[in-house]
Amino acid sequence: MSALLVHLGDQAGPAQALARAAALPCAAIASHTFPDGELRLTLPFGAGQAPRQLVIYRSLHQPNDKLIEVLLMAGQARAWGVRQIVLVAPYLAYMRQDISFHPGEVVSQRVLGRILAQSLDGLITVDPHLHRVATLTEAVPVPQASALSAAPALAAHVGRMLGAAVSPVLIGPDSESAPWIASAAAELGCASGVCSKVRHGDQHVEITLPDVDVQGRPVVLLDDIASSGRTLAVATRGLLARGAASVDVAVTHALFAHDALAVVRAAGVRHVWSTDAVLHETNAVPLAGLLAGALRPLLVAAPG
Ligand code: R5P
């Protein structure tokens, strides 16, 4: 077999959609958790039957066990002779801890990036949180790396949902969202602005709204990640206080930890749309086509 895409059962939907879009055979990996928490994985091939190229689909939300799974799968596949291993991780975890914010703090992005790179030949991800580094390979030094953006797909979805007659104001909740806002505003041809944000803790953010007129206008907040939801909630309250007619939210990675979605809705958000990078009830934008478009050339470009 030349190339095979594998996935764990909990992400079968988006993995199979990617396999269809990329015209790859697809198989599930069996996983058993022992009483002590250790994992036993069973690959869909054994020694002597390994494909030449292996695509591992594993989005890394709630990442700790999933990272171990990826390392176990990739390590065994390599030992059985797989020549090219590509991880498709639409959500790439630990990217936000990219400097020591306080003395002694582990720079998780770099440490985990190096560990992943030792096991992989390629990595495809979507809107990774790379705000203080220019390229994905600086964070994860793999030979083939592809950082895609979901902003155009989210913008297209917003356009479809609001209808051609409605021109929203697109707002980014912090300076780091500026690139997504620029690309989505270009797609929709609408007004936009970017807030400034100061984070005081996991659940406490302060947001200053941009000098953009939102009075009586529908606003869409666009961001890469919704985690505690506090960024979106605080921005929403500010926008509604300024007279926005409605606030909808479009995010790439719907982490929505604990009460986050309820907090966002309680702040007055009307619709929440997300991609299927992280499986969540708000998913509205499938990424299979975008991912397949990046995967095909990586597999073709593999050394023989
Ligand atoms: C920050 O830089 C990101 O772009 C998101 O705005 C942030 O991760 C959202 O976090 P939370 O939902 O916890 O406020």
Pocket test for ligand 1, best of 130, 154, 181, 225 (most atoms within 8 A of CB): 225
- Predicted confidence band at 303 (pLDDT cuts at 50, 70, 90)? low
Pocket test for ligand 1, best of 227, 232, 263 (most atoms within 8 A of CB): 227
Distance 173 CA to ligand 1 centre (A): 8
* Pair 148, 154: CB distance under 8 Å: no
Mean pLDDT of all residues in the chain?
96
> Of all atoms in ligand 1, which is nearest to the CA of residue 205?
14
- Predicted confidence band at 266 (pLDDT cuts at 50, 70, 90)? very high
pLDDT per residue as tens digits for the range 23-68: 999 999 999 999 999 999 999 999 999 999 999 999 999 999 999 9
Concatenated DSSP letters for 151-189? Answer: HHHHHHHHHHHH-TT--PEEEESSGGGHHHHHHHHHHHT
110 CB near ligand 1 (under 6 Å) = no
53 CB near ligand 1 (under 6 Å) = no
Provide the phi-psi class of 62: left if phi over 0, else alpha when psi is between -120 and 50, else beta: left
The token duo for 164 is: 């051609």
pLDDT per residue as tens digits for the range 189-230: 999 999 999 999 988 999 999 999 999 999 999 999 999 999
- pLDDT recorded at residue 180: 87
- pLDDT recorded at residue 182: 93
The token duo for 114 is: 């190096």
Strand pairing class (283-285; 272-275): parallel
- pLDDT recorded at residue 301: 73
Q: Please give the DSSP secondary-structure letter assigned to residue 49.
A: -
Q: In whole angstroms, what is the distance from residue 146 CA to residue 142 CA?
A: 10
The 3-state secondary structure of 6-32, one letter per residue: EEEHHHHHHHHHHHHHHCCCEEEEEEE
- Predicted confidence band at 179 (pLDDT cuts at 50, 70, 90)? confident
Measured by CA distance, the residue closest to atom 2 of ligand 1 is: 176
**Nearest Cα residue to 87 out of 70, 75, 103:** 70
Residue environment code for 177-186, b if the CB has 16+ CB neighbours within 10 A, otherwise e = beebbebbbe
Work out whether the CA dihedral 40, 44, 49, 53 comes out positive or negative: negative
Please check the confidence at residue 302 and state whether its pLDDT lies above 70.
Answer: no
The token duo for 73 is: 């799968």
170 CB near ligand 1 (under 6 Å) = no
253 CB near ligand 1 (under 6 Å) = no
Distance 224 CA to ligand 1 centre (A): 8
pLDDT per residue as tens digits for the range 99-158: 999 999 999 999 999 999 999 999 999 999 988 898 999 999 999 999 999 999 999 999
- pLDDT recorded at residue 112: 98
pLDDT per residue as tens digits for the range 275-285: 999 999 999 99
224 CB near ligand 1 (under 6 Å) = yes
- pLDDT recorded at residue 272: 98
**Nearest Cα residue to 293 out of 160, 152, 199, 168:** 152
